[in-house]
């Protein structure tokens, strides 16, 4: 898998901070994360089914744990489970964890269907998603 | 409504080369279709190809995926095809997953869910992939499959959507299936794997309101998606209209004389002989002669590389390169192991049509057979017959060099096939006369026209084949070991028994004999005699003519 697209990472982080503040309380930060995830889960579930989305999210959490070991091992329960886990984390890790999970999810999607298609699928959920062509490996390429 | 005007059914192009032709024009608008086939048969690819060719922002498509292939995987694989336009996904083609409803609810909920999405998106196209998983997952006692399918068809048609259900079915399941009665169109895809080749075939089981081309059509899947090679209709020789007796000279004076002026236009000619006898030379000469007369030619080569073939012709004094450059001659080189006859036909016909060919050489029949995938080799005879029929039906003269070893009777085809396949047979042989190996040529058969029964000697010179005088004074020339005597009566008649030869000789010698006369001449009794006569007529060696109020026989 390629490097996580830096532009996406920065965009996620910025969105979280704008809503919850630089060092906002875990509950506020978790809520901000939920606001990012909700349109995505609704959108992707239509495409891959609820079970499909849960599986993707579980994999994204597992990948994000390599970066933020403080993240819960297997929150379960899909998006709600993840938000619950964020809420219960140490304050300093919440923003980084949420960013890592969302970025991993984007990256995972791109690894399956390629950056171009992933971008266009995600844009339907997040119209303001930045371009992520640069620096990201085109996983769909052969 | 006025003037009794009938509705015009718009036909949508499928975007699959060859398929519109097979369907009888395209997919009828608002039709409810089934794309059926086993795993990996190309159902999803076909559905995608149709959508990418038709869906637009104004006329979008809904693609429902069910429990089968996970959507992300499908997108991952399908985008490898060139027709897959990333721009269209999400804008013109909307993918929706139904697995949740299918897993947790019953068919009426599935229907309601589809109805909601269709209502919201107002699609022009709807695909459910795969449909079988929808129905299989339903619990017993719930909405009946038949009723579900009928309501779905009603819903989609009322919403003016052209729809495709993708179903995983094998052939045995294609009967007694409620989906089949409801569907307006059914496309059935199969694939057979044999050794190292995959042969894919498509059948239009039905297509309401239009006339699809019947039979199994070969198709391929490449980076461009599906391509169908329509199986062509071939007229049977029996109904082939009488053609004008226009002759195409071979450019070999003695041979043209033996043929009564040349090869009849629209004839298929077997040029049979052992290896090295001069078959390719004869056919090259035929093509070169055509080029010099402004009659374009096509040579299909299976066994040799084009380079070798050209070099070979050059050493024999023919500059095929120049003829190719000037556009008078085309060479088609066909080799891939999984070649099917329909692809060959397609390719040959394209080339032949491109130059308005009058002369075609397929060098050689054995090469053609070898170039076919094993599956196709089984129906090789029929294939060859259709190939030749399609070409000659278009008025081309087709020469088929065919290697035969010892005697003509070894010819790999049954006399029946030879008789049906080839209108004419030219035979080349080596014979040993007085300790010297000599080459001889004979016109063994010509359907519907008189020809020489001579056996002539020929030589291969720097300017091609030169046919000399008839060999006289020998018997059994074509056996390869002639003995002094009358050679004419020993002309070879492939596939005939001694008794049939005897009868044929009597037919030849007597002036239009009747059956009683033949009985006297041959000393054969009725059943045996009439059987022999029937076979001679069936194999086109003899014709039965009504003369006054009795039947007479004469050489064909
Ligand atoms: N570029 C390509 N060149 C040749 N063949 C290809 C190419 N890409 C895919 N294929 C073949 O096309 C087939 C894919 O067909 P497709 O997925 O449409 O089948 P399907 O009938 O939908 O299968 P399933 O029942 O598994 O859903 C496979 O057999 C694959 O080997
Ligand atoms: Mg499929």
Residues 40-99 of B with CB under 8 A from A: 70-73, 75-76, 79-80, 86-87, 89-90, 95-99
B339 C-alpha to ligand 1 centroid (Å) = 19
- The reply to whether residue A116 touches residue B75, judged by beta carbons under 8 angstroms, is no
Average pLDDT of span B394-410: 72
User: For residue B130, is the peptide bond before it cis, meaning its omega torsion is within 30 degrees of 0?
Assistant: yes
Q: What is the pLDDT of residue B496?
A: 72
Bridge-based pairing of strands B329-333 and B268-273 is: unpaired
pLDDT at residue B135 tops 90 = no
Of B74-78, B245-249, B402-406, B502-506, the one with minimum mean pLDDT is B402-406
| B122 CB-near residues (< 8 Å, 6+ apart) | B60, B159
Q: In the structure, what pLDDT confidence band is assigned to residue B298 with cuts at 50, 70 and 90?
A: very high
| Residue B244 pLDDT > 60 | no
CB B255 within 8 A of CB B441: yes
Q: Return the CATH number of B487-555, one of 1.10.10.60, 1.10.10.10, 3.20.20.240, 3.30.1360.150.
A: 1.10.10.10
| Nearest CA-CA partner of B61 in B53, B73, B70 | B53
Task: Inform me whether the pLDDT recorded for B459 exceeds 80.
Answer: yes
DSSP category for residue B8? P
> What's the pLDDT tens digit per position in B531-555?
889 888 877 788 888 878 888 898 8
3-class DSSP state of B507: helix
B37, B38, B39, B44: which to mutate for ligand 1, most atoms within 8 A of CB? B44
At B60, is the pLDDT very low, low, confident or very high (cuts 50, 70, 90)? very high
A46 and chain B in contact, CB less than 8 A: yes
Question: B188 C-alpha vs ligand 1 centroid, how far in Å?
Answer: 15
User: Which residues fall within 8 angstroms of residue B436, CB to CB, at 6 or more apart?
Assistant: none
Q: What distance in angstroms lies between residue B131's CA and the mean position of ligand 2's atoms?
A: 10
Banded pLDDT at B405 (limits 50, 70, 90): low
Instruction: For residue B159, count CB atoms less than 10 angstroms from its CB and return exposed for 0-12, middle for 13-18, buried for 19 or more.
Output: middle
Q: Where are the domains of chain A?
A: 5-125
Place of tokens 């304050």: A91
Segment B79-84 shows an average pLDDT of: 95
Phi, psi angles (nearest 5°) of residue B78 = -65, -30
Which parts of chain A have pLDDT scores under 50? 1-4, 134-142
| Residue B280: predicted pLDDT | 85
Average pLDDT score over residue span B348-372: 79
* Local confidence band at B270 (pLDDT 50, 70, 90 cut-offs): confident
Cis peptide leading into residue B364 (ω within 30°): yes
CATH class of B11-229: alpha beta
DSSP per residue, B224-273: TEEEEEPPPP---GGGPPPPP--EE--S-HHHHHHTTSSEETT-EEEEEE
Is residue B79's pLDDT more than 90? yes
Query: Any residues with CB less than 8 A from the CB of B362 and at least 6 apart, and which?
Result: B300, B302, B348, B368, B387, B388, B398, B399, B400, B401
What is the reported pLDDT for B487? 40
Q: Measure CB to CB from residue A48 to each of B87, B97, B103 and give the nearest one.
A: B97
The answer to whether domain B247-474 has CATH 3.90.1150.60 is no
What does the pLDDT average to over B118-130?
A: 93
In this prediction, residues B2-25 reach a mean pLDDT of 88
- At B327 the three-state DSSP class reads coil
Q: Is the pLDDT of residue B171 over 50?
A: yes
Asked if pLDDT for residue B239 goes beyond 50, the answer is: no
B42: left (phi over 0), alpha (psi -120 to 50) or beta: left
B376 or B264, which is more confident: B264
- pLDDT number for residue B139: 57
3-state secondary structure (DSSP) of residue B338: coil
Could you identify the atom of ligand 1 that is nearest to the CA of residue B46? 18
Q: Which of B189, B193, B194 is nearest to B204 (CA)?
A: B189
| Domains B11-229 and B487-555 fall in the same CATH topology | no
Cα distance between the two ends of chain B: 62
- pTM of the predicted protein model: 0.65
- Give the three-class secondary structure for B517: helix
Closest CA to B107 of B129, B83, B131: B131
Domain boundaries, given as residue ranges, for chain B? 11-229, 247-474, 487-555
The set of protein residues with a Cβ atom below 6 angstroms from ligand 1 is: B 37, 39-45, 68-69, 168, 221-223
CA-CA distance, B218 to B199, in Å (whole number)? 7
pLDDT (average), residues B462-485 = 71
Chain A (58-97) residues lying within 8 Å, Cβ to Cβ, of chain B: none
Distance B34 CA to ligand 1 centre (A): 18
Q: Is a pLDDT exceeding 80 seen at residue B151?
A: yes
Contacts of A124 in chain B (CB under 8 A): 90
């Amino acid at each position: 898998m390629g490097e996580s697209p830096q532009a996406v990472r920065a965009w996620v982080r910025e969105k979280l901070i704008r809503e919850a503040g630089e060092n906002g309380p875990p509950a506020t930060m978790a809520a901000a994360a939920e606001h990012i995830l909700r349109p995505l889960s609704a959108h992707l579930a239509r495409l891959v089914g609820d079970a499909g989305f849960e599986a993707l999210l579980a994999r994204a959490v597992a990948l994000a744990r390599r970066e933020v070991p403080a993240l819960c091992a297997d929150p379960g329960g899909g998006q709600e489970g993840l938000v619950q886990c964020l809420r219960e984390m140490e304050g300093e890790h919440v923003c980084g964890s949420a960013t890592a999970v969302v970025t991993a999810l984007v990256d995972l999607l791109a690894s399956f269907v390629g950056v171009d298609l992933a971008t266009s699928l995600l844009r339907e959920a997040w119209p303001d998603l930045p371009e992520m062509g640069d620096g990201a490996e085109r996983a769909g390429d052969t | 409504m006025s003037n009794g005007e009938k509705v015009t059914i718009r036909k949508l192009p499928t975007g699959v080369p060859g398929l519109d032709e097979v369907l009888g024009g395209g997919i009828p608008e608002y039709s409810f279709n089934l794309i059926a086939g086993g795993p990996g048969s190309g159902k999803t690819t076909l559905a995608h190809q149709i959508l990418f060719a038709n869906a637009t922002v104004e006329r979008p498509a809904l693609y429902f995926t069910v429990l089968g292939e996970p959507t992300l995987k499908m997108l991952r694989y399908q985008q490898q095809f060139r027709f897959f336009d990333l721009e269209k996904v999400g804008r013109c083609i909307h993918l929706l997953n139904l697995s949740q409803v299918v897993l947790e609810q019953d068919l009426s909920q599935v229907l309601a869910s589809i109805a909601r999405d269709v209502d919201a998106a107002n699609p022009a196209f709807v695909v459910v992939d795969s449909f079988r998983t929808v129905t299989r997952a339903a619990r017993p006692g719930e909405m009946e499959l038949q009723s579900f399918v009928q309501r779905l068809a009603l819903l989609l048609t009322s919403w003016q959507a052209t729809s495709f259900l993708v179903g995983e079915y094998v052939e045995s399941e294609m009967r007694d299936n409620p989906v089949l009665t409801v569907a307006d169109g059914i496309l059935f895809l199969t694939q057979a794997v044999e050794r190292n080749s995959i042969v894919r075939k498509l059948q239009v089981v039905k297509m309401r309101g239009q006339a699809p081309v019947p039979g199994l059509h070969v198709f391929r899947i490449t980076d461009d998606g599906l391509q169908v090679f329509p199986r062509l209709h071939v007229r049977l020789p029996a109904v082939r209209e009488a053609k004008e007796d226009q002759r195409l000279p071979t450019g070999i004076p003695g041979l043209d004389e033996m043929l009564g002026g040349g090869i009849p236009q629209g004839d298929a000619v077997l040029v049979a002989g052992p290896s090295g006898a001069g078959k390719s030379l004869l056919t090259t000469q035929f093509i070169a002669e055509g080029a010099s007369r402004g009659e374009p030619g096509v040579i299909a080569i299976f066994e040799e590389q084009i380079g070798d073939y050209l070099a070979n012709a050059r050493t024999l004094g023919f500059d095929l390169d120049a003829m190719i450059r000037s556009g008078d001659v085309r060479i088609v080189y066909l080799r891939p192991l999984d070649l099917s006859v329909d692809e060959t036909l397609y390719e040959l016909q394209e080339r032949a049509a491109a130059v308005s060919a009058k002369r075609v050489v397929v060098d050689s029949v054995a090469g053609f057979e070898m170039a076919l995938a094993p599956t196709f080799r089984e129906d090789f005879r029929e294939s060859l017959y259709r190939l030749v029929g399609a070409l000659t039906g278009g008025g081309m003269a087709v020469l088929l060099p065919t290697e035969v070893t010892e005697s003509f009777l070894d010819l790999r085809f049954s006399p029946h096939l030879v008789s049906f396949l080839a209108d004419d047979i030219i035979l080349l042989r080596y014979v040993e006369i007085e300790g010297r190996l000599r080459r001889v040529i004979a016109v063994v058969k010509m359907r519907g026209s008189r020809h020489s029964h001579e056996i002539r000697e020929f030589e291969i010179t720097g300017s091609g084949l030169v046919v000399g005088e008839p060999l006289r004074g020998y018997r059994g020339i074509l056996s390869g070991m002639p003995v002094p005597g009358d050679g004419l009566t020993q002309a070879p008649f492939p596939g005939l028994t001694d008794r049939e030869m005897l009868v044929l000789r009597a037919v030849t010698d007597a002036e239009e004999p009747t059956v009683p006369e033949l009985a006297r001449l041959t000393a054969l009794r009725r059943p045996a005699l009439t059987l022999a006569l029937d076979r001679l007529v069936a194999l086109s060696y003899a014709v039965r003519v009504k003369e006054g109020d009795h039947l007479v026989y004469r050489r064909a």
